[in-house]
Amino acid sequence: MAEIMKVHGSVISTATQRVLACLNEKELEFEFIPVNMAVGEHKKDSFLAINPFGQVPAFEQGDLKLFESRAITQYIAHGYAEKGTTLIIPGRPMATLSVWMEVEAHQFDPPMFGIPTDNAAVEENEAKLTKVLDVYEARLAQSKYLGGDIFTLADLHHLPNISCAMKTQVKKLFDSRPHVSAWVADITSRPAWSKVVAMGK
Amino acid sequence: MLRYVTDKKQLLLQNPAVKMKFQAVTLKVRQRSSRCPLKIVESKAKYRLIDLPEEHYQKANKVVDIDGVFGEDGDRKEDNNEDIPEDYKRIKHSALAILQWVYGPPLSTAVSRVLATLLEKDVPFQIIPVDMSKGEHKKPDYLKIQPFGQVPAFQDESISLFESRSICRYVCEKYADKGNKGLYGTNPLEKASIDQWVEAEGQSFGPPSGALVFQLAFAPRMNIPQDQGAIKQNEEKLQKVLDIYERRLGESRFLAGDEFTFADLSHLPNGDYLVNATDKGHLFTSRENVGRWWNEISDRESWKKVVEMRKSS
């Protein structure tokens, strides 16, 4: 694909960070277009034309317009499989990778996303997260990374929410599980991720 | 009534290396009428294979060794045939031809997503019952194939999977040339367009519609008190999402373009309960484009078959 890739988003949005991490891992050139959410730019018609849900990120390449960070990362990872870090595993192992991408989206993300303000909600989220992380601990005891032997999208998709979590009381849930803890230390120290974090500063 | 498994015996693992052995003792094959030549096998087998060794997650080409009987003769009761409609023919069918197993009841929204996909792709499969009322889905045997203790789980000759959308993606990839070939797109651009709507379904449509379906259709049956606040909140969220869908479906016939794809299919499970088992169907029918789209996608032969399977379970 010759046309330049454009990412519309916000450097502090976890979903936007997911896409930026992927582009950095792939060592790809792209144009970052900040969306000023404070003034409602994401609800304007020009933005809705790319993402009808009025959310960040949105992605463009030539005529192609995409939304939903996990659809965007998969498009990039498959389309540029030979560049930079291989974020997918070809063949049958792709199915297992896909399982853990869904796990991140449906089991991990919900209790992590958003900031509950009352204690009951915080406790409920922590209870859910505890169960999820028990499964992760067992998985990571058998497999170096979630999707298989190598770092893939299945791990990358977790980075934004994990980074946030490490700054809150939820950190203890990760630290108390040796395999999860080692995996977190590994993936959060990747240079591609550090670049994303630096953008937000 | 399709009876759920009540007697369970651990599959005898004859090979210390845990080679996969499976045989459904009695299989019933329902042959569809000449309109649509799909074979659906619903097994009344009481046992199922659970344990897959770790290597199966990695290796591509394991062959299933389907021999050996599990369970004892005395445990097998005569199958109850009263639920099979008159126009179906019963044929004895070899287990060797069935290479896809889906664990879980068709009543489950996530299970039905997988079933609809298998039917769209013309892929034979077998449903393995999981008696959730008896907590079967939380038992160690089942947790080995679905560590979150949910349905569905899926196995074929070489892999064990969970999470309905990834099972569906796998089936579409494995059987790219079968059945509805365009179900997950035929090139990367189409696939990406479908993916974004599948994600939208999972992230934006699914949570509020799922909450409404649970509160309005399932909670009463389970004697769980309804949460009126949650109902109101989720209805409002769903209204906003459906406004976006209304705009989109004014621009194109289906979500990802002019053809029915997995992006549309993914909405069928929650949508069906919403329209047919709650009083919130008007959320769809009061919107012209969403209503039109809903009528079209719910009229698919594959989905009608899933609805039939639910009724007989």
Query: Worst-scoring range by mean pLDDT, A25-34, A104-113, B6-15, B110-119?
Result: B6-15
Q: Determine the pLDDT at residue B33.
A: 36
Q: Does B91 touch chain A (CB under 8 A)?
A: no
**A159-179 pLDDT per residue, tens:** 999 999 998 889 999 999 999
- Give this complex's ipTM: 0.95
The yes-or-no answer to whether A5-86 and A93-193 have a common fold is no
Q: What is the pLDDT along chain B (313 residues), one digit of tens a residue?
A: 333 333 334 433 433 334 444 443 333 333 333 333 344 444 444 334 444 444 444 443 333 433 333 333 333 444 444 444 443 334 444 545 668 999 999 999 999 999 999 999 999 999 999 999 999 999 999 999 999 999 999 999 999 999 999 999 999 999 999 999 999 999 999 999 999 999 999 999 999 999 999 999 999 988 999 999 999 999 999 999 999 999 999 999 999 999 999 999 999 999 999 999 999 999 999 999 999 999 999 999 999 999 999 988 7
Q: Determine the pLDDT at residue A113.
A: 72
Q: B188-312 — its CATH code?
A: 1.20.1050.10
How far B117 CA lies from chain A's nearest CA (Å)?
Answer: 16
Average pLDDT, chain A: 94
The yes-or-no answer to whether B100-174 and B188-312 have a common fold is no
- Which class is B100-174 in CATH? alpha beta
Q: A93-193 — its CATH code?
A: 1.20.1050.10
Q: Determine the pLDDT at residue B7.
A: 35
pLDDT grade, residue A116 (50/70/90)? low
Q: Which two tokens stand for residue A21?
A: 């991490």
Q: Determine the pLDDT at residue A122.
A: 81
Q: Does B31 touch chain A (CB under 8 A)?
A: no
pLDDT grade, residue A115 (50/70/90)? low
Cα–Cα distance measured from residue B219 to residue A56, given in angstroms and rounded to the nearest whole number: 34
Mean pLDDT of A102-129: 84
Q: Determine the pLDDT at residue B150.
A: 97
Q: Determine the pLDDT at residue B97.
A: 63
Tell me how far CA of residue B1 lies from CA of A132, B42, B84, B146, B309, in angstroms: 35, 12, 9, 26, 10
Q: Which residue of B has its CA nearest to A142?
A: B54
In B268-307, the residues whose Cβ lies within 8 Å of chain A are none
Fold of A5-86: Glutaredoxin (3.40.30)
Query: What is the layout of strands, in order, in the sheet containing B27-31?
Result: B89-91, B27-31, B39-43, B126-128, B101-103, B153-155, B160-162
Q: Determine the pLDDT at residue B56.
A: 42
| A52:B248 CB<8 A | yes
Q: Determine the pLDDT at residue A150.
A: 97
Q: Does B187 touch chain A (CB under 8 A)?
A: no
| B202:A53 CB<8 A | no
Q: Determine the pLDDT at residue A123.
A: 85
Cα–Cα distance measured from residue B162 to residue B151, given in angstroms and rounded to the nearest whole number: 8
Minimum-distance CB partner of A92 among B60, B192, B207: B60
Q: Does B248 touch chain A (CB under 8 A)?
A: yes
Give the CA-trace dihedral at B271, B272, B277, B279, to 10 degrees.
40
Residue A2 has pLDDT above 60, yes or no: yes
Q: Give domain limits for chain A.
A: 5-86, 93-193
Using a 10 angstrom Cβ sphere, with 0-12 exposed, 13-18 middle and 19 or more buried, the burial of residue B247 is middle
Q: Determine the pLDDT at residue A117.
A: 64
Q: Determine the pLDDT at residue A114.
A: 60
For residue B152, whether the previous peptide bond is cis, meaning omega lies within 30 degrees of 0, is yes
Coil vs helix vs strand at B237: helix
Q: Determine the pLDDT at residue A6.
A: 98
Q: Give domain limits for chain B.
A: 100-174, 188-312
